[in-house]
Structure 1
Amino acid sequence: MKSKETKHDTSRPRQLWWVIEPAAKAIAVAERVSWHETHVFASLNSTVSRNGQGGRAGFYAGLDIDFFIRTVNATRHETGLEEIPDAHVRPHMFRKTMSIIASQEPDAEIALGIQLKHATTRALANRTTQQYGRIDSKWAKEFDTQLQTAAAQKLVALLKGRRSGETIAVGPGAARFHDGLDKVNAAIDQSPTLRAQLADDRLEITLLRDEFANLHLGTINHCLWHAPTAQCQNQLPKEQRGKAPLLGACQPSRCRNSVLTLAHERIWRLEEADLVRLLKMRLSKPLREQTLARLAEVRGTTAQFETLKDTV
């Protein structure tokens, strides 16, 4: 394929690109449907402005990411999602992290090779993709540390509530969760030095990070990852079990690793309302029975949130 990659610089020379046949066919279609005279890939609206500088041609991923963040934050009352902090976010920041995480999934090598455009002889592409998706020790340490710190930061408020004697969690793993928070509070109370520094959130974050090193934060629940009691592992072959939680197969109302706080209530209430609306429609008998069973399970969970409100 002969083309020019401008990327905001129209003086770049025209180059030759080796592509696989499906990509060539897709580009041929894009040439026919593109409204632009010189660009194969152009925005649908030629008057879209970037940084207030008039129209643009082509895609600008930064604008799309900014739009996504604004939309998520503006619809939080409907989706139950947490607010995305205001920050400069661009695609290249995700490339390595996405590759390493995706490489752990079945058949990810093929998907990653396509996503990363490693479209060459399959054997060579495999080697390139594997190398790019390999976990780097420095990256892993930094990534794990950041995850633990982020989790600990969100636990600070719960730790303070627990210090006041509140029941701050429900679910199968609530007792273990409370025990962990109580251990941190006990460590602070037993040390005059730590008590003197109690106003410093960084101290609490450090203690919480050490106590909850295996905590995985989630939208519908938190996971106190413990492989022997993790129900999600039942979905995996025996040789793959025990390595990491399979969040897509989580059973938050039944797994002994599952913890729910008031922060999770909104998403459960939204599902309950969706199920009630679904049952008002004409459904097949199997689907109605399945929906009724799920509604009972969800209501069993939402009822537990009422006990949290009584203690707050």
Structure 2
Amino acid sequence: MLRRTLAQALAQRPGGLLAAKIHLKHVSTATTEGYANRPGGSQALFHAEVQELEEEHHLRLTIDAFRQFQAGRLPGGPGARDLIATFTHVDDALRDRTPAEPSVLDTDRRIENLLRAQAASLHVGPANYCWFRDPSKALCLRLAGTTEATRPLIGLCDSARCPQATHHACHRPIWAEQAATFQAFLGNPRVPTGEKTRLRREHDRVQRVLDSIDEATSTAGSTPACPPVPTGEPDICRS
């Protein structure tokens, strides 16, 4: 029972490895990683169950994002254009059938099959979705100086600039809370002027993300453009 509970926590929550470390009272996360990845016996079964639950969860999230797209609530963020193109292709495939093919039904199973490849590239961040399809475009790998990784470095994620990141309505409360926190510090007279300058830049960046989410989710049938790039920062979205 404990194994399945931990597997679900690892599969569905960012930072699940740390949660497992705390729950199992391991001294280091390396011990927890060894427990999850060690081949053979219950460890192998545990790791396989984690992978299976993670794939199921990512497929559900992808289908939910597709349903929102069908309802006119588009994703925001630098990666929105590519995701919308994928969803448009899937939507066309669902519509493009003839009466001579009665066996081809617009069912949940068919949608799952069409979206399974897209779901396989999904990595869940704390405040965004990362569709890790091309390592050479991943901003986190560029910042780390490598493009050989098979998974994104979520800890280095800057979803406001990465061309494979998208923001959805479910992420808005997180960004809104962050904007409110920055606003509170900016209104505090005890914060030094130099620090306020840095906080104001961060607040403006968060506000741009919020604006893009609001614009995308309230505008049906349009493709959001890449967000504006602050002065002095590279335009990675269009690179």
- Which TM-score applies when normalising by structure 2? 0.69
TM-fit CA distance, 1:203: 2.7
Residue of structure 1 equivalent to 2:111: 204
Residue of structure 1 equivalent to 2:95: 189
- Answer yes or no: is 1:307 the counterpart of 2:211: no
TM-fit CA distance, 1:111: 1.8
Residue of structure 2 equivalent to 1:178: 84
TM-fit CA distance, 1:153: 1.4
Residue of structure 2 equivalent to 1:229: 137
Contact 2:159 2:165 in 1 (8 A): yes
Secondary structure of the residue that 2:196 maps to in structure 1? helix
Instruction: State how far apart, in whole Å, the 2-side matches of 1:272 and 1:204 are.
Output: 36
Gaps of 5+ in 2: 11-15, 19-25, 221-239
Secondary structure of the residue that 1:291 maps to in structure 2? helix
Secondary structure of the residue that 1:216 maps to in structure 2? strand
Contact 1:231 1:251 in 2 (8 A): yes
TM-fit CA distance, 1:270: 0.8
Deviation per CA, 1:71-118, whole angstroms, max 9, x where unpaired? xxxxxxxxxxxxxxxxxx7467428x96x968xxxxxx98256x57xx
Residue of structure 2 equivalent to 1:48: none
TM-fit CA distance, 1:295: 0.4
Instruction: State how far apart, in whole Å, the 2-side matches of 1:270 and 1:131 are.
Output: 35
Letter in 1 for 2:205: E
Letter in 1 for 2:125: G
Deviation per CA, 1:20-41, whole angstroms, max 9, x where unpaired? xxxxxxxxxxxxxxxxxxxxxx
- Are the structure 2 counterparts of residues 210 and 241 from structure 1 closer, same or farther at C-alpha, using a change threshold of 3 Å? closer
Gaps of 5+ in 1: 1-88, 103-108, 117-128
Letter in 2 for 1:204: I
Residue of structure 2 equivalent to 1:256: 163
- Answer yes or no: is 1:297 the counterpart of 2:205: yes
Instruction: State how far apart, in whole Å, the 2-side matches of 1:92 and 1:161 are.
Output: 30
Superposed counterparts of 1:1-312, under 5 Å: 90=2, 93-94=5-6, 111-112=28-29, 133-134=37-38, 142-163=49-70, 166-192=72-98, 197-198=105-106, 200-225=107-132, 226-236=134-144, 238=146, 241-281=148-188, 282-311=190-219
Give the number of aligned pairs.
201
Q: CA RMSD in A?
A: 3.5
- Higher relative contact order at CA 8 Å, sep ≥6: structure 1 or structure 2? 2
Contact 2:59 2:116 in 1 (8 A): yes
Secondary structure of the residue that 2:191 maps to in structure 1? coil
Instruction: State how far apart, in whole Å, the 2-side matches of 1:298 and 1:194 are.
Output: 49
Secondary structure of the residue that 2:109 maps to in structure 1? helix
Instruction: State how far apart, in whole Å, the 1-side matches of 2:102 and 2:74 are.
Output: 23
TM-fit CA distance, 1:253: 0.4
Contact 1:262 1:308 in 2 (8 A): no
TM-fit CA distance, 1:271: 0.7
Instruction: State how far apart, in whole Å, the 2-side matches of 1:269 and 1:131 are.
Output: 37
Letter in 2 for 1:189: R
